[in-house]
Amino acid sequence: MEKHVGIAGVGTYIPQTFMTAKEISDATKGIWSEDAVINKLGIVKKPVTDTVGTQEMGYLAAKACMENAGICPTEIDVILCMGEEYKEYPLTTSALYVQDRLGAVNAWGIDVQNRCCTAVSAIKMAKDMLMADEDIDTILIAGGYRNGDFIDYTDSNVSFMFNLSAGGGAILLRKNLGKNLVLGSHIIADASLNRTAGVEIGGQANPINAENFQEAQKSLRLMDAETMKSRLNAVSMDNWHACINRAFEKSGLPRSAMDYLAILHIKPSGHRGMLADLGLTEEQSIYLQDYGHIGQVDQILSLELALKQGKVKDGSVVCMLSAGIGYVWAASVIQWGGM
Taking 90 as the threshold, does the pLDDT of residue 280 lie above it? Answer: yes
Sheet harboring 260-263: ordered strands across? 108-111, 78-81, 138-145, 167-175, 5-13, 179-189, 328-338, 317-324, 260-263
Residue 38 near residue 113 (C-beta atoms within 8 A): no
Pairing relationship of beta strands 108-111 and 78-81 according to DSSP bridges: parallel
Taking 80 as the threshold, does the pLDDT of residue 89 lie above it? Answer: yes
Give rounded-to-5 percent helix, strand, coil for the chain: 40, 25, 35
Mean pLDDT over all residues of the chain?
98
Handedness of CA 304, 308, 313, 316 (dihedral sign): negative
pLDDT in tens, 178-199: 999 999 999 999 999 999 999 9
What are the φ and ψ backbone dihedral angles of 124, each rounded to 5 degrees? Answer: -60, -45
Find, among 46, 25, 6, 86, the residue nearest to 301 by Cα: 46
Taking 90 as the threshold, does the pLDDT of residue 314 lie above it? Answer: yes
- Burial (Cβ within 10 Å: 0-12, 13-18, ≥19) of residue 5: buried
Q: What pLDDT does 260 receive? A: 99
- Burial (Cβ within 10 Å: 0-12, 13-18, ≥19) of residue 245: middle
- The answer to whether the bond into 327 is cis (omega within 30° of 0) is yes
pLDDT band at 219 (very low <50, low <70, confident <90, very high): very high
pLDDT band at 1 (very low <50, low <70, confident <90, very high): confident
Average pLDDT over residues 57-63: 98
Average pLDDT over residues 295-322: 98
Residue 45 near residue 338 (C-beta atoms within 8 A): no
The Cα 295–Cα 275 span in angstroms is 20
pLDDT in tens, 129-172: 999 999 999 999 999 999 999 999 999 999 999 999 999 999 99
Q: How far is CA 82 from CA 145, 205, 222, 244, 322, in A?
A: 9, 25, 23, 21, 13
Q: How far is CA 168 from CA 36, 75, 132, in A?
A: 27, 21, 28
The residue count of the chain comes to 339
Residue 138 near residue 266 (C-beta atoms within 8 A): no
Question: 65 by DSSP, 3-state: which?
Answer: helix
Residue 297 near residue 60 (C-beta atoms within 8 A): no
pLDDT band at 245 (very low <50, low <70, confident <90, very high): very high
Q: How far is CA 117 from CA 114, 163, 187, 239, 323, in A?
A: 5, 16, 9, 13, 5
Count other C-beta atoms under 10 Å from residue 322's C-beta.
28
